[in-house]
Structure 1
């Protein structure tokens, strides 16, 4: 039985043919040695370095390359898609973890393959994480209390541009000098967005869109704090009170029905 050629190999070949290059010429452009023919046959995997070169030289969208986007090329001035992704030994995309200590250098290394390879990475074998690229970031500070606690982890799905971002959702926003976890709210001007902390002690940040390097919509979190917090206690108490009230109302209704029958 013939080996099925993976999506990234087919699209790698498509890029080469669109550029009108031979396999040898394409290999020279990407500094890939003699591996391009084997990549197209599905015998070798595309390295992170080659993915980076495809983006840097030809604006090829890494998400498109692996079948996770319809947009083949990126407008680098407005793109917030990841510039580098890493793969595991089974040719599945890794979920890279960015701890607090690494977040300070994250923005300045968005195209440094070697730096990314030093970060921990893992996979979550759940259907919610099969479509798109995901990354995990550790929460720093208390600006997103009570929803996100300090040092918890959030998992975010890559967003291609601010224009396609879902409004009023929590995002990880990567700029030239920071990695922020905030609720993103679009403004009337397409040139800026508002970054909102759930903790009202923090002011709203007006962020220029052009300065956003990456954008990840948070869809889940990993927490090691199982204590019930004060706000959650209040909600539980309120729910219990409402449940008791419903039971009393049902009891009164049954009593009235019984009297009528008599």
Structure 2
């Protein structure tokens, strides 16, 4: 589901703190922050909680695509219970809510979600790790409740893919060499999980392979250019030519929690 996060933020500011609204909507503050950043609601109960917190009338709940927040600030009430009066129906300016029939969604053994499209393609949905969650992901990656609270990212594929996938919002310019293959700030890196059993084999080909690497220190996106299989040490490099700013360094695989081989980069729309 999608909602206009800016309008939701506007209405929260009328009568709540974020913590107060999250409690009223029966969700965690982290979940609310993710919704307000990405405009994605990945669980039906969270949408229901928002509806209840806003105390919307039944006629509004029946067609959420028609909802919009009024822009007449002078008419805006300052209490949460009266916020429903701040909601008006405007057909050409709506909060976009994409409701997917979950009965049409299938999951593979790695819990990736797939939905068959009318054109024969497949929509794959996976957790998205935003850049501000880099540190918290290193602590919560094994917790199913943490993962399910992450926003979702969707891509269209010709067929179902095996394996576990994650999407990662790219932060910084260490992998930006100004080429067409650069991995730039704001891009989305889509990675396939590499099972630890495979870490005993060479982890790079043709001079280097790009990975998302999760360690106790956080999350990095680097190119593996060397792999000492016997010692279990990989050498990580940035493609940015400024080696004073981005020198090569080694990582012991014993300190690595997860490895994701980068299969695809979705470009930041601002760079298109």
Structure holding more helix per residue? 1
